[in-house]
Amino acid sequence: LYFSAQEGILIFYHIKELQYEMKICADISQPISSLVFSPDYTSLLLVTDQGTVYSYKPAHSGEAVKLLDTSSSCFLAADFLTPGNNYCVSVTISGEVQVWSLEDGTFLSKLNLGIEVHVT
C-alpha cells in the first residue's frame, strides 16, 4: 500500500496478515494530490497540486525524480498515456490537455478543449 502524507512524503506499508512494516520512500516537500501507477505497475507518478510531476520506481527504491513542472498553468491532474509508460497526459483548469515525455519531461503536444475543467 502506497500512501502520501500532507507534507509530501511517499510512504509504503507492507501488510502481511496482522503484521505491517512502514517505509518512507521519498520526500518531495510538496503536498501530493494523487498517486498514479503505470499500467504495468513499474512506475508511480506523484502529482502535486502545484503542477509538478515526479516519477518513483518501486523496484529501484530510489528517490522520486522530477519529470515536469507545469506550475504556471493551473495544473489539475496527470496520468499515463497508454499503452506503455513513455508518455504522460496532464490537464489544466482552463481545459488545456498536454502530452509529455516521461523519459526527459519534454513537452510534446497540447489540445485546448475550450472549457473550464474540474476534477471530481
Domain 2-112 CATH superfamily: TolB, C-terminal domain (2.120.10.30)
Q: What is the mean pLDDT of residues 81-104?
A: 85
Angle at CA 44, nearest 5°, toward 108 and 13? 170
Contact 64, 56 (CB under 8 A): yes
Residue 72 has pLDDT above 70, yes or no: no
Mean pLDDT of the 59-88 span:
78
> What are the DSSP E strand ranges found in 6-93?
9-16, 19-27, 32-37, 44-48, 52-56, 65-69, 75-81, 87-92
Instruction: Let me know how many helices (H) and strands (E) the chain has, helices first.
Output: 0, 11
Reduce the DSSP state of residue 71 to 3 states and report it: helix
Note the pLDDT tens digit of each residue in 94-116.
888 989 888 887 889 999 999 99
Tell me the mean pLDDT in the region 11-35.
Answer: 87
Please write the tens of the pLDDT for every residue from 41-70: 888 888 887 778 888 888 877 788 888 776
Query: Helix, strand or coil for residue 72?
Result: helix
pLDDT at 9 over 60: yes
pLDDT of 120 = 67
Domain boundaries, given as residue ranges, for the chain: 2-112
The confidence score (pLDDT) of residue 70 equals: 66
pLDDT at 113: 92
Which pLDDT value is given to residue 112? 93
